[in-house]
């Protein structure tokens, strides 16, 4: 254990230099592609539905199948990374979701789409907890939270780029072209990761000091971590439910209101831009003093801005403001919760802890698009839908506040 502690001290005392920038940049590139592919179904949904004659209810199931793959990937690859290492798992995940996305472009039926989206999601789900864990473990303590939150901005930027790419290519080349772009880049990234990405020094030290030992999910509930683990799961579940509902149904809700698909795609991309700016702002303001109490205030702001979405109606200027602000609060809150999850757990179970939090959150991600489809099918308009969407944000607020009381020590 002395070796592990000594390595941790060395990492904490070193300056923030080129090695840290390299790790954060490559991990950001991984979650960038993750964000692109995670968001892309929302943008291609209208064209995909028309091209393959898929009913809205069936389309919601296809969207959720990819999220189911992410759930399984987060649980499986998170635990695997605590045994085999962050780097090999991250490379494997990039290759998996690259191949899955390329196969999606060849789909001609709902069963094929479902199978390929599950494969894609499997790789995507494993990439995120490993990128978070690796970034956290390579950073000095004074900049760890800020680095994780800034790195995760790659997800929001990738999601926004999905909107820009979709708006530019769907009309000219069809919905398949979006998945060709989204599948080619991660395969190239995997080659770069093999060549340049270093392994976590904390992980290597931990494996040397504890040879033959492996992490288990049960350790997430030991050492006084049971309460904060369950509350983290509640926060991830509720916030990712909202994030994926808004990601996937905002373009459809706006087109139903009479807004063109091109305009709807561009306005929806502001959700990700707001998330990017909100995450950077929170990283700068809260990086060294990040806490569950501060996270509760972000979730509360998300509830307010989601309510404002329902009041915007078909007014594009009001939608621009409400979508941007909602993204800043929802995605900004998620980046903060990712950093807190990485800080709560020790190196030996960090990827497992983050992976399970994200995996439980993916259950909410699955339900988000499904519940959105149900609410829209029963009618009642956008206002009713967004009032319902504000409830999970309020529940996440309560969970974060409770975690601030029960956490064994500040993150």
Domains of the chain: 9-406 (1.20.1250.20)
Q: What pLDDT, in 10s, does the model give residues 283-320?
A: 888 877 888 999 999 999 999 999 988 887 777 888 88
DSSP per position, 238-306: HHHHHHHHHHHHHHHHHHHTT--HHHHHHHHHHHHHHHHHHHHHHHHHHGGG--HHHHHHHHHHHHHHH
* pLDDT level of residue 384 (50, 70, 90 thresholds): confident
For residues 70 and 340, the answer to whether their CB atoms sit within 8 Å is: no
Handedness of CA 390, 397, 330, 28 (dihedral sign): negative
pLDDT of residue 49: 78
Q: What pLDDT, in 10s, does the model give residues 61-93?
A: 787 788 788 889 988 888 888 888 899 999 999
* pLDDT level of residue 380 (50, 70, 90 thresholds): low
411 pLDDT higher than 70? no
Sequence-distant (6+) residues with CB within 8 A of 343 are: 136, 144, 145, 290, 411
7 pLDDT higher than 80? no
pLDDT of residue 239: 95
Q: Which of 309-318, 344-353, 371-380 has the highest mean pLDDT?
A: 344-353
Select the more confidently predicted residue: 224 or 409: 224
pLDDT of residue 103: 94
* pLDDT level of residue 371 (50, 70, 90 thresholds): confident
Across all residues in the chain, what is the average pLDDT?
Answer: 85
Reported pTM = 0.83
pLDDT of residue 224: 85
């Amino acid at each position: 254990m002395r070796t592990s502690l000594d390595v941790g001290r060395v990492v904490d005392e070193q300056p923030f230099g080129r090695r840290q920038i390299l790790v954060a940049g490559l991990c950001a590139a991984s979650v960038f592609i993750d964000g692109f592919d995670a968001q892309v179904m929302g943008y291609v949904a209208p064209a995909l539905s028309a091209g393959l004659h898929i009913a809205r209810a069936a389309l919601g199931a296809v969207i959720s199948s990819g999220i189911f793959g992410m759930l399984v990937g987060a649980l499986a690859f998170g635990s695997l990374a605590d045994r085999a290492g962050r780097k090999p798992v991250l490379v494997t995940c990039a290759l998996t979701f690259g191949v899955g996305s390329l196969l999606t472009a060849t789909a001609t039926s709902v069963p094929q789409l479902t199978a390929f989206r599950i494969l894609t999601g499997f790789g995507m789900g494993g990439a995120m907890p490993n990128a978070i864990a690796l970034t956290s473990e390579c950073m000095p303590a004074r900049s760890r939270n800020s680095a994780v939150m800034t790195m995760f901005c790659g997800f929001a930027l990738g999601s926004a780029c999905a909107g820009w790419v979709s708006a530019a290519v769907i009309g000219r080349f069809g919905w398949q072209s979006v998945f060709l772009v989204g599948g080619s880049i991660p395969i190239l990234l995997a080659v770069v990761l093999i060549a340049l990405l270093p392994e976590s020094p904390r992980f290597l030290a931990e494996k040397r000091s504890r040879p033959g030992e492996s992490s288990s999910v049960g350790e997430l509930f030991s050492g006084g971590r049971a309460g904060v683990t369950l509350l983290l799961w509640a926060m991830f579940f509720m916030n990712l439910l909202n994030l994926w509902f808004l990601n996937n149904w905002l373009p459809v809700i706006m087109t139903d209101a009479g807004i063109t698909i091109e305009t709807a795609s561009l306005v929806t991309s502001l959700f990700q831009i707001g998330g990017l700016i909100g995450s950077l702002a929170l990283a700068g303001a809260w990086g060294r003093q990040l806490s569950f109490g501060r996270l509760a205030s972000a979730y509360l702001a998300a509830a307010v801005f989601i309510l404002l979405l329902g009041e915007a109606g078909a007014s594009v200027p009001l939608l621009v403001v409400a979508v941007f602000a909602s993204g800043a609060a929802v995605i900004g809150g998620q980046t903060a919760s990712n950093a807190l999850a990485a800080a709560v757990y020790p190196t030996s179970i960090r990827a497992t802890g983050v992976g399970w939090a994200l995996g439980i959150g993916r259950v909410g991600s699955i339900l988000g698009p499904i519940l959105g489809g149900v609410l829209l099918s029963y009618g009642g308009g956008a206002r009713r839908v967004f009032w319902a969407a504000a409830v999970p944000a309020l529940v996440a607020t309560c969970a974060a506040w409770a975690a601030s009381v029960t956490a064994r020590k500040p993150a």
